[in-house]
Amino acid sequence: MSSSKARPEWLEQGLATQSPSTASGAPAASGEETVPAVGQIRVLQHMDLQRDADRLGLIVDVDERLAVANVLMLSPLVEYQTSVDYALDQASTGARMPLIAESDLRGAVWFAQLGPSLGHVSPEVAAALDAVGCGASPDETGLGQADFGLPSRDERDTRWGWKLAELDALNVLTSECDEWILDGGACPGIVDPDVFDSLSRSGGDITESTLLLLDLVSHHDAWVTEDSSEQLLQLLADASPDMQAAMGSLVERNLARGADAPEVPSDDVHWVNPALSRENSRWRMARDLALRAGQSNRCVVVLTSHESWKTTPTRGSHPVLRVGASNSIQVNPVYIDQSAEEVAA
């Protein structure tokens, strides 16, 4: 971490004394991330690592299509437990500290924000806690009232101010992703240069993949990378008249992007995932993805195919870029060789 405030002391101690664990409770190799799943207790990181301290969250829902997890805030301050905070003991979670799950504090985070797993609860308990946060009584969910605290009635209760501070912490962590989902969850994109090689081998015919690519280019306002400009023109020259007509919008977008391309950022751009960093083509793509994301987007799409995107990152990790020392960008591969129903927004 680049910031001294990235993790509070209690969380550093927990990470130092426990290897990550999978959702099933089986120990994972040291440093290995786990596939996001309901019931996991995960470190929550900010997309800007210098913005505020990391926290812990309990995953209560996973949206693979958007690469987003919905989480409840967790706290080790068990003495502040209120009537909506559920006690999670160490024996049941596998964590090295007792925690409380704050069922009233729920938000969405990108997969890129999910750090190591420190423990787990059953998916049924996670769903029940989520239901309590939505207004169900503990007895209705099968959790029972005994593991919840007493109500915080007014400002004279010290837990009142603590809960407001917890809400502020949640908003800092989740507000960007929450707003992005409310706005439709669409990401700007670029076209993987390797895709044009695949299309060239199709013999110039308008294939289903080509038509889906053109539709996705329009949906994501996708750019053509500098690496693929010559490939695009060669593909167009070899294409049938029908293909040339269909790809006209892509050529126009490429020319417009070239005329008004932003300056290359001075900050270093690199993949967080080691497997991606080792691939030259993915390394070159990082710069174009960072440019396409710009200053305001935390998520960007790469329009690719399973043949082109051959890299298999570390188990459970998601493609993530780091711009400079601290800013993170989630990269969502969208495959043109999937059916339209399977394609991410």
Query: For 221-277, what is each residue's pLDDT tens digit?
Result: 888 877 677 777 777 777 777 777 777 777 777 776 655 555 655 568 888 887 777
Residue 4 lies inside a defined structural domain of this protein: no
Residue 275 lies inside a defined structural domain of this protein: yes
pLDDT at 3 over 70: no
337 and 255 in a common domain: yes
304 and 254 in a common domain: yes
How high is the pLDDT of residue 53? 84
pLDDT at 98 over 90: yes
DSSP 8-state secondary structure symbol assigned to residue 26: P
Contact 47, 299 (CB under 8 A): no
Residue 40 lies inside a defined structural domain of this protein: yes
Which residue among 182, 204, 220 closes a domain?
Answer: 182
Which residue among 182, 197, 228 closes a domain?
Answer: 182
How high is the pLDDT of residue 324? 86
Report pTM: 0.83
Residue 22 lies inside a defined structural domain of this protein: yes
Element (H, E) at 313: none
pLDDT at 143 over 60: yes
Residue 62 lies inside a defined structural domain of this protein: yes
Nearest by Cα to 63 from 188, 209, 180, 215: 180
Span between the terminal Cα atoms of the chain, in Å: 31
165 and 38 in a common domain: yes
201 and 52 in a common domain: no
202 and 174 in a common domain: no
Q: For the segment 198-222, what is each residue's pLDDT rounded down to a tens digit?
A: 776 665 556 677 778 888 888 888 8
331 and 238 in a common domain: yes
193 and 178 in a common domain: no
How high is the pLDDT of residue 32? 46
Q: For the segment 153-176, what is each residue's pLDDT rounded down to a tens digit?
A: 889 999 999 999 999 999 999 999
152 and 16 in a common domain: yes
CATH of residue 90's domain is 2.30.30.110
How high is the pLDDT of residue 154? 87
Residue 38 lies inside a defined structural domain of this protein: yes
Domain total of the chain:
2
Residue 125 lies inside a defined structural domain of this protein: yes
pLDDT at 180 over 80: yes
Give residue 314's domain range. 189-342
Region 111-123: mean pLDDT is: 94
A 10 A CB-CB count for 230 gives: 11
DSSP 8-state secondary structure symbol assigned to residue 277: H
Strand order in the sheet with 320-323: 223-224, 189-191, 299-304, 327-335, 320-323, 269-271
Q: Round to whole Å and give the CA distance between 52 and 131.
A: 29
Backbone angles phi, psi at 225, to 5 degrees: -70, 160
From its phi and psi, is residue 316 left (phi > 0), alpha (psi between -120 and 50) or beta?
left
205 and 60 in a common domain: no
212 and 99 in a common domain: no
Which residue among 182, 202, 224 closes a domain?
Answer: 182
168 and 21 in a common domain: yes
Residue 214 lies inside a defined structural domain of this protein: yes
Two tokens, residue 23? 């959702």
168 and 198 in a common domain: no
Instruction: For the chain, give the percent of residues with pLDDT over 90.
Output: 41
